[in-house]
Amino acid sequence: MPLAAELGLLVALILLNGVLAMSELAVVSARKSRLQLMASRGDLGAEAALKLAADPGRFLSSVQIGITLVGIAAGAFSGATLAERLGLYLLEQFGWSEALADGIAFALVVTLVTYLSLIVGELVPKQLALRNAERMASLVARPMTQVARFASPAVSLLDISAKLCLRLFGSSRDTAEQVTEEEIKSLVAEAESAGVVEPAERAMIAAVMRLGDRPVRSVMTPRTELDWIDLDAPLPRQLATLRGSMHACLPAGHGGIDHIDGILLVKDALDAVIDGKPLELRPLVRPAPVVPETADVLEALEQLRHSPTGIALVVDEFGSLQGVVSAADILEFIVGELATPEGPVEPWLVAREDGSWLVDGLTPRHHMAETLGFTLPDDEDDYDTAAGFALARFGAIPQTGDRVDWNGWRFEVVDMDGRRIDKLLASRLDG
């Protein structure tokens, strides 16, 4: 065989090894969600890649058979032909002994073939597979399916053998692929760094993912901040409460805030006045769903879907009213506090020039932790705000000026609203 043909055959074997290596990594690392999207658009290669990924044992066996055979063929061919040719050339040109010429020729050929196999047959193809796994998997899936079908007897033998070995190591069942919450966050962060997702979108996605983990009490309007209508009070007092409130819906009850009958819409009272009817608020009260304070936000949202007023009452285990929750409260949990008719609200956290942070006591604890960059204790679930976090650190009701050090941070109380922590100053202890 001419030398050019021999070199061409060797290069072809190395390239074939590269295709097999690229196929292996591309199909294994390709994201199933993207392959499914490509398949839904009519990409037959993506559909074939999904089938290969569904049975990785048989696919990997097929690839390994091909890589092994190609490696053996390339090694045997280079040692038997190219090394012999090079040995004769060295013997004729330099007059070396036959043993020395054969040894040097064999070493040079093995080194060159190994180098080309690593670069062209392994590293470059795998780099290509990692850079665009789904596209590469779509390109190679259909040919690899034919390879797996052609080598089916050997593939079955290897697949069964591999499963038997896995059973000896105590891994007899296939592990279902699971996507963790941290992986989703990492993917969104990667998309943000690439400019696909805006920073505000990333923050909202993170908040939506927390809806099922947060109790409804973390998003409700607490009873201490409620405007409510006492149905037993005289009408002028009731109207004064309506006039002084900025809310369109108010809880209404009798005998105390723990005895709420339902929700009064200010519009209903206004309609009665416009229509010239005698104004009496009790008949205008609408029923409202009741949710326990331990229910998560998603459960409360399901209740709000069926609420004619868009408001649900939040009660504790003793039936006492703890607050109310509305769709607007959940929206604020996702996007941040919204402006009110009284004007724009102050942000939860304000960065100061010296690197410290002014923290509102009602800041959700997860938002404070993410902004300041620390991890909250896993065993503390009985508070939901920055004020609750500070109370857990102090262990008692603090006074203005009190401070506590925790996990490299110093938290100082800068303002109290009665017995509630209104403002905190958070600063790093290392400056």
* Chain segment 57-89, per-residue pLDDT in tens: 777 777 877 888 887 777 776 656 777 777 777
* pLDDT given at position 342: 57
* pLDDT given at position 292: 92
Task: Give residue-wise pLDDT tens across range 197-230.
Answer: 888 888 888 888 888 878 888 888 888 888 899 9
Residue 322 pLDDT exceeds 70? yes
For the chain, domain boundaries: 3-168, 181-210, 216-335, 349-428
Q: Are 328 and 307 in contact (CB under 8 A)?
A: no
Task: Give residue-wise pLDDT tens across range 266-298.
Answer: 898 889 888 888 888 988 999 999 999 888 889
212: left (phi over 0), alpha (psi -120 to 50) or beta: alpha
Give the fold, CATH level 3, of 216-335. Answer: CBS-domain (3.10.580)
Whole-angstrom Cα Rg for the chain: 35
Cα-flanking dihedrals φ and ψ of residue 271, to 5°?
-60, -40
∠ CA 4-6-10, nearest 5°, is: 115
Q: Are 65 and 151 in contact (CB under 8 A)?
A: yes
Report CA-CA distances (Å) from 180 to 36, 208, 209, 334, 420: 19, 15, 12, 21, 37
Look at the alpha carbons of 214, 177, 182, 204 in this order and tell me if their dihedral is positive or negative: negative
Task: Give residue-wise pLDDT tens across range 127-152.
Answer: 888 888 888 888 888 888 887 777 77
425 band by pLDDT with thresholds 50, 70 and 90: very high
Give the fold, CATH level 3, of 349-428. Answer: 3.30.465
Q: Are 238 and 281 in contact (CB under 8 A)?
A: yes
26 Cβ partners below 8 Å, 6+ apart?
49, 129, 133, 136, 137, 140
For 80-129, strand residue ranges (E) read none
Q: Are 314 and 297 in contact (CB under 8 A)?
A: no
